Amino acid sequence: MKISKSQVRKAGDIYRNYRIDNSITKEEYAKALEIITIFRSQHQTALDTILQTIDNSLKKLKIDNAIVAHRLKRSISIEKKLKRFPKMSLDRMQDIAGCRIIVKNYKDLRKLQKEFRDKFTLRHNYIKHPKDDGYRSIHYTTKIDGYFVEIQIRTQIQHAWATALEIVDIFEKKSLKTKEDIEDSTSKLWMEFFRVCSTIFQQYEFKDNLDYNELKKLFYYYNRLKIEKKFSAYKELPPLKNKTLSKKDGYYLVLIDLFNREAKYFSFEKNSFKEAIDNYQALEELYSTNPDIVVSLVAVEDLNNIKLAYPNFFADSQKFLELLKILEHIYKIEKESRGIVAIAVDFALNLIKKS
């Protein structure tokens, strides 16, 4: 089905306003959803081209153990973004197709950054200029045959931070990532915790001297929010079987039930993309009003990589908690050493006074 830009724009406007505009009929909404689903699926060829470019770059730079995952934006995410940006037209949305590259360290990230300089358009360098909440990553976009693709690169530590924030959004029913309805005191505490946490993680990753006052703040919020207890309560979903497709490339339709702590997946060969999209749309429609159900279509080599690339869906905060434990150990040593120095200074001052 061939669709025009004007049809896409109109479908986006209907999709954005359906729940608040009573004049939009169910038939108009259904037609809009059909157009959006087709428009979304038409990004796949452009995405495949970019993935090949990324694969070639990783091999050329000899970057091992990078995790590359890609997805087409979930319809609920498209709806939320259209509502967040009322003037945005759907045909100009630049992250309907997206891929994420997670590298081991900042050295590898810098290699990719240099490699991508002439390949893609830099949109945001959130490592050099982090968001107010502490988010750090580099975002690029490119356009192939009229379809945008977004490319994100980040380190494992930056990914652990971003994952933790999304887990809190899911299980605490917050909107920290989009900064919607965050004026309550608890949300402000969470925001400050993640901001300080990002600063310390960056210092740790760059091997800079850790700011003691920021460390002190971090563990104040850590204890106030009962971070360890809460993240342990967001128990990781039962492990998924490491079942790969018969071919290396393909798609997984993942359905996660946050309330019942269950996860299901359905696999599709690469040449069955239309079938995957049709099933994806059917599940999205079925669970569109259930906030405890997450439906996502992702393409990665196996289920282990799905968990590594999208750990927020699986409440996997292990890396994040490990980093906090390391920092807690450093903080305790620094605190004790400062206490010893303070005692020594007091002792010396008393001796001077006596003399």
Q: Divide the 355 residues of the chain into consecutive groups of 10 and give the mean pLDDT of each group.
A: 90 92 90 92 94 95 91 88 93 95 95 96 96 96 96 96 87 79 84 96 92 94 91 64 52 79 79 84 84 76 60 73 93 82 56 57
Whether residue 34 lies inside any domain: the answer is: yes
Whether residue 56 lies inside any domain: the answer is: no
Residue that is written with structure tokens 């001796």 in the block: 351
Whether residue 125 lies inside any domain: the answer is: no
User: pTM of the prediction?
Assistant: 0.81
pLDDT confidence of residue 285: 83
Rounded Cα distance, 276 and 350, in Å = 77
Whether residue 30 lies inside any domain: the answer is: yes
Whether residue 18 lies inside any domain: the answer is: yes
What residues contact residue 116 under an 8 Å CB cut-off, 6+ apart?
57, 122, 140, 151, 153
Whether residue 151 lies inside any domain: the answer is: no
Beta carbons of 46 and 96 less than 8 angstroms apart:
no
Domains in the chain: how many in total?
1
Structural domain including 31 reads 1-41
Angle at 40 between CA 35 and CA 65, to 5 degrees: 170
Q: Would you state the structure tokens that stand for residue 33, as one six-digit string?
A: 């959803």
Burial of 319 (0-12, 13-18, 19+ CB in 10 A): middle
pLDDT confidence of residue 343: 59
pLDDT confidence of residue 242: 42
pLDDT confidence of residue 354: 57
